[in-house]
């Protein structure tokens, strides 16, 4: 658990690292005082939209939800790191769009797992892994990795000396792996752990 | 603390529920229900519409078809002509129809008749068949009968052959019989001739009786003269001559049997073995054996060459007063124990004990062909037995007034002579009537002994018997019931115990209580 | 507390759980593609339930009249404002329906799902999951421990959900025993919901136990939203305007929703910070 101020400070420290900046991380502030980290990632992928959803549609010309299946598309991931007021930890929010169309939980997981069956631990399904929720700052709907276990995990890994570590960097090194975000070593190495 | 806020709250809460929930619940529910019903009705409506549509379509189709048909009938004239044509056609068709119906009726009638005929024929057929069946049965029976007849014919054939054979055998036997009779006659004649020659040889011993000068007559003269007079130490109870006249056997009180030569009057041999007086004696037909019945309850058999008894026939429980041979292998004994026993002489065993003797046997003699037996009894009966079946064949009761003491059969088996204690001798017809033919008596003739003997002469014309006074009475038999005393032989001084006539008729021997045996010639 | 008070507390709770709202659901005329207009859809929904539970029946009612249809694209709005279904219906009603017209008229849409503003609801499991997440948050605030929720059996989850849908207080209480945790209560989960600039906002204002015990409703609001216009703005809790003297802790006990949160709605808000 960390305080909001600590989170803010840790975010700033994180972004100040050059390698981190190279990855595309931005520190955002809104009117009213909310802060968060944001990065956008693009990759080529074969995306197959859930065929079932397609069948229920009758195609109309101007229907924005009509889906075109393309063989090679660009998938855009929008990652946010925000502070969860209740659990008092950072948590990872994300959205994925293909050609402007948002992907559902299953598709996201499918992409992330790249077809591997054992990518997700058995206890989790796409529900429990990714949940829908409001962005604490923006108010809009994102998918997020549930933060309820975060505090415990970080506490066991570090020795509660939160003040002295790059909390965000350390936190991201665990949770970012799941979604393909890699933390540059330089962001953590210059502080004692 | 005042709870105003609470009651306020509670009141508001109640109000809220009333306004929001309670007011609308029923309404919303009924609305739902109405919607549901409406939906159902819509569905039904749709279905009905659909059905309606389908039916309308069908109707349309039919209408179209009708219209189609109607449109073809355009011109009327053509139609009317057509109509006429059609009418004509109809008429002709109707006529055809009627005629065909008529013919159909006829055909049906024919069918009916034919069916009836068929029925009749079937019936007849059935009857015929049953007749045939009956016939076959009869034929079968006839065949069976024929077979039976055949069999019977064969049987009768066989029987005929048998009969033929039997006849042939019978005729053969008859011829044989004739031959045998002839032989017998010849033999008898020869015998007679022999005797005659013997008589002529022994003429010195004969007293020529002027009455009987013709020696060729079959009946010989009874002897009159004393030929031998033998004195003994003992009383003789019975005498028997051998068939060949050579020997004479004497049953003696001294428990022996003495055999003397008939001619010479000399002793031949004596036979021993009895434990008590010998009371009767008999020669076997072959003259080889002697049978002696004794007061020791036994009878003994001797062979002529051996003084020791060959067999002892034990079994009787009282004195054996009568014994006789029935052939060379059998003997018959009669005893005071009221039984007659038949013995087989090879082993010396008793083969039959005849209890039907019923009374003390005083005397017995085996008759015709060794198959009949005559016995004289204490109860004044004469009994005749069959020696094959051992049956009592004839019983002559009250033959004498008193006991019957002796019985003798004539050589021709035609007559019996018996002596009774009533001092009367009777000659019986042994062929048919078994009635007394002669009744012989004399004032001097008296019988005391229970076993007083009487004998025929071999020719059967004379009867001899001893008397109390020591004389032997000889009667002559002429015709039925016609007899006379011929002579009396004197010599003994005491009661005559027994008398016997030799087979050739030449000698009469008698014994007496004076211990003497006299042979008369 | 006197005897009558005790009875009343449970009685209050019982009455709270009887709450239901009549809904009038219409479809926007733009979306009607058939020749006939559909009947409006009237339905009663418990105050403590959630809007997506109606999804199936709404869909069935309107399916014949709408050409394009994707069941996960179903969303509701009231007078142009998107209804955030992750809040209980009662709360939404209290916030949106200022005129208090009954039945509450809302419009259902089958197209143009506003993905930014509300979650997509593919099935009832999504609703249950959202509810459970809210419950987890409440539990975390109260006890710093979500294990009891995580360990609820599938049966219990279903029972819980059914109790909420059908207003079954007894079932809810029974299941609550399963996930009630031990320990000191750390923070009470309280949300303040209000509409501002055509947008419904809700703020999380957790209070510690001692603080809660000290406050009344009025004093609490004064602390948190000092700028509000006391005269004009209405304070609505569970559809009722309680007296401002009402003790906060009692209010929490009586009026918490099944997700363990106390929702305080403010309407007629003009200026608020």
Q: Do the chains contact at A60 and C120, CB–CB below 8 Å?
A: no
Query: What is the structure's pLDDT at B500?
Result: 93
Query: What is the structure's pLDDT at B40?
Result: 92
The whole-angstrom separation of Cα B239 and Cα B248 is 7
Domain hosting A178: range is 4-53+67-189
**What is the pLDDT confidence band of residue A120, given thresholds at 50, 70 and 90?**
low
Query: What is the structure's pLDDT at B216?
Result: 38
How close C106 comes to chain B (CA, Å)?
15
Q: Is B117 exposed, middle or buried (0-12, 13-18, 19+ CB in 10 A)?
A: exposed
Q: Which residue of C has its CA nearest to B18?
A: C19
More confident residue, A66 or B93: B93
Tokens standing for residue B90: 């109809």
Tell me if chain C has a CB within 8 Å of the CB of B41.
Answer: no
A vs B contact (3+ beta-carbon pairs below 8 A): no
The whole-angstrom separation of Cα B64 and Cα B52 is 18
**What is the pLDDT confidence band of residue B73, given thresholds at 50, 70 and 90?**
low
pLDDT digits (tens, 9 = 90+) for A8-25: 888 888 888 777 777 788
Q: Which residue of C has its CA nearest to B23?
A: C22
Instruction: Please tell me which chains touch A, using 3 or more CB pairs under 8 Å as the contact test.
Output: C
Query: What is the structure's pLDDT at A55?
Result: 39
Chain C residues touching residue B9 (CB < 8 angstroms): 12, 240, 242-243, 246, 254
Q: Do the chains contact at B16 and C19, CB–CB below 8 Å?
A: yes
- The rounded Cα B2 to chain-centroid distance in angstroms is 150
Query: What is the structure's pLDDT at A62?
Result: 47
How close C245 comes to chain B (CA, Å)?
7
A19 belongs to a structural domain: yes
Weakest-pLDDT range from A130-139, B103-112, B223-232, B440-449:
A130-139
Count of Cβ atoms closer than 10 Å to residue C173 Cβ = 12
A60 belongs to a structural domain: no
CATH number at residue A106: 3.30.1460
More confident residue, B12 or A122: B12
Mean pLDDT (whole number) for B391-407: 91
Per residue, the 3-state secondary structure of chain A, as one string, reads CCCHHHHHHHHHHHHHCHHHHHHCCEEEECCCCCEEEEEEEEEEECCCCCHHHHHCCCCCCCCCCCCCCCCCEEEEEEEEEEEECCCCEEEEEEEEEECCEECCHHHHHHHHHCCCCCCCCCCCCHHHHEEEEECCCCCCEEEEECHHHHHHHHHHHCCCCHHHCCHHHHHHHHHHHHCCCCCCCHHHHCCCC
More confident residue, C116 or B365: B365
A143 belongs to a structural domain: yes
CB C111 within 8 A of CB C68: yes
Local confidence pLDDT in tens for the 273 residues of chain C:
455 555 577 888 888 888 888 888 888 877 777 777 788 888 899 989 998 888 888 888 888 777 766 666 788 888 888 888 888 988 888 888 767 777 888 888 887 777 777 777 777 788 888 888 888 888 888 887 777 777 778 888 888 888 888 888 888 888 888 777 667 777 888 888 887 766 677 777 777 777 777 777 877 887 777 777 777 777 888 888 888 888 888 888 888 888 888 888 888 766 554
Strand partners, B428: B416, B436
Query: What is the structure's pLDDT at B215?
Result: 41
**Cis bond before residue C103 (omega within 30° of 0):** yes
For chain B, percent of residues with pLDDT exceeding 90? 55
Interface of B with C in 10-29 (CB under 8 A): 10, 12-14, 16-17, 19-21, 23-25, 27-29
pLDDT digits (tens, 9 = 90+) for C202-260: 777 777 777 777 777 877 887 777 777 777 777 888 888 888 888 888 888 888 888 88
Q: Which residue of C has its CA nearest to B9?
A: C242
**What is the pLDDT confidence band of residue B464, given thresholds at 50, 70 and 90?**
very high
* Res. A113: pLDDT tops 80: no
Instruction: Examine domains C19-109 and C124-179 and report if their fold is the same.
Output: no
A58 belongs to a structural domain: no
Dihedral sign for Cα B104, B108, B111, B113, please. Answer: negative
Count of Cβ atoms closer than 10 Å to residue C49 Cβ = 22
Number of residues that this document lists for chain A: 193
Count of Cβ atoms closer than 10 Å to residue C97 Cβ = 19
DSSP three-state, residue C187: strand
Query: What is the structure's pLDDT at A26?
Result: 82
Chain A residues touching residue C69 (CB < 8 angstroms): 56
* Res. B184: pLDDT tops 70: yes
The whole-angstrom separation of Cα C193 and Cα B475 is 194
CB B442 within 8 A of CB B492: no
**What is the pLDDT confidence band of residue B211, given thresholds at 50, 70 and 90?**
very low
* Domain C189-267 grouped into CATH 2.60.40.10: no
CATH of domain C124-179: 1.10.246.190
A59 belongs to a structural domain: no
Query: What is the structure's pLDDT at A61?
Result: 43
Nearest CB partner across the interface for C140, out of A60, A86, A141: A86
Nearest CB partner across the interface for B28, out of C5, C11, C42: C42
**What is the pLDDT confidence band of residue A50, given thresholds at 50, 70 and 90?**
very low
Query: What is the structure's pLDDT at A189?
Result: 54
CB C133 within 8 A of CB A132: no
Mean pLDDT of chain B: 88
Angle formed at CA B485 by CA B482 and CA B486, multiple of 5 degrees:
110
CB B508 within 8 A of CB B499: yes
Mean pLDDT (whole number) for B319-334: 92
The whole-angstrom separation of Cα C101 and Cα C239 is 13
Query: What is the structure's pLDDT at A15?
Result: 81
* Res. A90: pLDDT tops 50: yes
Architecture of the domain defined by C19-109: Roll (3.10)
Query: What is the structure's pLDDT at A54?
Result: 41
Dihedral sign for Cα B57, B63, B67, B68, please. Answer: positive
Mean pLDDT (whole number) for B180-186: 88
Structural domain total, chain A: 1
Query: What is the structure's pLDDT at B214?
Result: 41
Q: Do the chains contact at C117 and A58, CB–CB below 8 Å?
A: no
Angle formed at CA A100 by CA A94 and CA A106, multiple of 5 degrees:
50
Q: Do the chains contact at B12 and C241, CB–CB below 8 Å?
A: yes
* Res. A49: pLDDT tops 70: no
Entry pTM: 0.50
For chain B, percent of residues with pLDDT exceeding 70? 94
Chain A residues touching residue C146 (CB < 8 angstroms): 148
Q: Do the chains contact at C126 and A86, CB–CB below 8 Å?
A: no
Count of Cβ atoms closer than 10 Å to residue B457 Cβ = 24
């Amino acid at each position: 658990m960390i305080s909001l101020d600590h989170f803010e400070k840790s975010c700033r420290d994180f972004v100040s690292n050059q390698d981190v900046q190279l990855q595309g991380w931005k520190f955002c502030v809104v009117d009213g005082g909310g802060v968060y980290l944001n990065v956008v990632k693009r990759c080529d992928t074969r995306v197959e939209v859930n065929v079932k959803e397609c069948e229920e549609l009758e195609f109309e010309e101007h229907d924005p939800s009509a889906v075109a299946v393309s063989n090679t598309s660009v998938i855009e991931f929008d990652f946010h790191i925000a502070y969860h007021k209740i659990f008092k930890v950072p948590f990872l929010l994300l959205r994925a769009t293909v050609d402007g169309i948002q992907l559902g939980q299953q598709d996201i997981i499918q992409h992330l797992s790249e077809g591997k069956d054992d990518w997700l631990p058995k206890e989790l399904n796409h529900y429990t892994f990714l949940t829908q929720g409001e962005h604490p700052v923006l108010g809009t709907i994102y998918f997020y990795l549930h933060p309820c276990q975060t505090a415990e995990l970080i506490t066991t890994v570090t020795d509660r000396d939160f003040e002295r570590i790059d909390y965000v960097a350390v936190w991201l090194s665990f949770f970012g792996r799941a979604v393909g975000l890699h933390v540059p070593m330089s962001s953590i190495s210059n502080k004692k752990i | 603390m005042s709870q105003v806020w609470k009651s306020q709250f509670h009141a508001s809460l109640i109000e809220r529920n009333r306004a929001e929930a309670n007011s609308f619940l029923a309404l919303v529910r009924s609305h739902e229900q109405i919607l549901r019903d409406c939906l159902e009705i819509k569905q039904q409506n749709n279905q009905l519409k659909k059905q309606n549509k389908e039916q309308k379509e069908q109707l349309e189709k039919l209408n179209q078809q009708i219209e189609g048909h109607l449109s073809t009938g355009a011109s009327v004239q053509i139609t009317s002509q057509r109509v006429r044509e059609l009418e004509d056609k109809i008429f002709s068709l109707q006529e055809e129809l009627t005629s065909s119906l008529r013919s159909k009726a006829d055909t049906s009638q024919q069918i009916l008749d034919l069916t009836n005929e068929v029925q009749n024929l079937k019936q007849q057929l059935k009857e015929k068949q049953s007749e045939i069946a009956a016939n076959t049965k009869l034929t079968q029976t006839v065949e069976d009968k024929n077979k039976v007849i055949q069999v019977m014919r064969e049987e009768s054939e066989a029987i005929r052959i048998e009969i033929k054979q039997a006849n042939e055998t019978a005729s053969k036997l008859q011829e044989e019989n004739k031959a045998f009779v002839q032989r017998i006659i010849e033999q008898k004649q020869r015998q007679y001739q022999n005797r005659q020659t013997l008589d002529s040889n022994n003429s010195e011993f004969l007293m020529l009786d002027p009455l009987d000068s013709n020696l060729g007559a079959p009946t010989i003269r009874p002897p009159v003269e004393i030929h031998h007079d033998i004195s003994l130490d003992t009383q003789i109870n019975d005498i028997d001559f051998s068939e060949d006249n050579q020997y004479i056997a004497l049953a003696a009180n001294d428990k022996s049997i003495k055999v003397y030569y008939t001619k010479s009057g000399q002793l031949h041999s004596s036979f021993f073995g009895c434990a008590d007086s010998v009371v009767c004696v008999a020669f076997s037909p072959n003259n080889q054996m002697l049978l002696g019945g004794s007061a020791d309850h036994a009878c003994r058999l001797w062979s002529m060459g051996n003084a020791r008894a060959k067999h002892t026939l034990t079994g009787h429980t009282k004195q054996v007063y009568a014994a006789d041979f029935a052939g060379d292998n059998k003997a018959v004994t009669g005893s005071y124990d009221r039984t007659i026993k038949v013995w087989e002489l090879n082993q010396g065993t008793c083969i039959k004990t005849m209890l039907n003797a019923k009374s003390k046997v005083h005397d017995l003699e085996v008759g015709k062909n060794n198959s009949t037996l005559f016995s004289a009894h204490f109860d004044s009966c004469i009994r005749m037995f069959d020696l094959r079946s051992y049956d009592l064949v004839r019983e002559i009761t009250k033959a004498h007034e008193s006991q019957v003491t002796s019985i003798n059969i004539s050589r021709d088996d035609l007559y019996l002579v018996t002596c009774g204690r009533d001092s009367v001798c009777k000659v019986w017809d042994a062929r048919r009537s078994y009635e007394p033919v002669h009744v012989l008596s004399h004032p001097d003739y008296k019988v005391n002994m229970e076993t007083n003997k009487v004998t025929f002469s071999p020719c059967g014309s004379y009867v001899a018997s001893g008397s109390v006074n020591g004389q032997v009475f000889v009667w002559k038999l002429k015709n039925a019931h016609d007899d006379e005393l011929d002579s009396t032989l004197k010599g003994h001084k005491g009661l005559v115990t027994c008398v016997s006539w030799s087979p050739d008729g030449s000698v009469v021997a008698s014994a007496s209580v004076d211990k003497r045996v006299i042979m008369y010639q | 507390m006197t005897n009558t008070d005790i009875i009343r507390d449970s009685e209050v709770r019982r009455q709270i759980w009887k709450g239901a709202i009549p809904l009038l659901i219409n479809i926007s005329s733009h979306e009607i593609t058939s020749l006939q207009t559909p009947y409006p859809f009237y339905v009663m929904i418990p105050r403590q339930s959630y809007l997506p539970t109606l999804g199936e029946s709404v869909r069935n009612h309107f399916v014949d009249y709408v050409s394009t249809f994707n069941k996960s694209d179903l969303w509701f709005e009231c007078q142009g404002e998107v209804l955030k279904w992750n809040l209980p219906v009662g709360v939404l009603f209290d916030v949106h329906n200022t005129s208090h017209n009954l039945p509450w008229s809302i419009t259902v849409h089958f197209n143009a799902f506003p993905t930014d503003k509300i979650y997509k609801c593919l099935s009832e499991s999504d609703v249950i999951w959202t509810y459970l997440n809210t419950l987890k948050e409440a539990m975390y605030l109260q006890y710093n421990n979500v294990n009891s929720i995580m360990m609820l059996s599938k049966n219990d989850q279903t029972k819980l959900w059914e109790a909420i849908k059908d207003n079954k207080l007894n079932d809810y209480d029974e299941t609550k025993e399963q996930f009630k945790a031990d320990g000191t209560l750390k923070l009470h989960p309280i949300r303040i919901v209000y509409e501002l600039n055509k947008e419904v906002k809700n703020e999380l204002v957790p209070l510690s136990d001692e603080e809660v015990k000290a406050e009344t409703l009025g004093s609490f609001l004064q602390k948190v939203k000092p700028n509000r216009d006391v005269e004009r703005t209405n304070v609505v809790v569970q559809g009722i305007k309680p007296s401002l003297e009402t003790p906060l802790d009692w209010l929490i006990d009586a009026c918490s929703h099944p997700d363990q949160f106390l929702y305080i709605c403010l309407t007629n808000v003009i200026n608020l910070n």
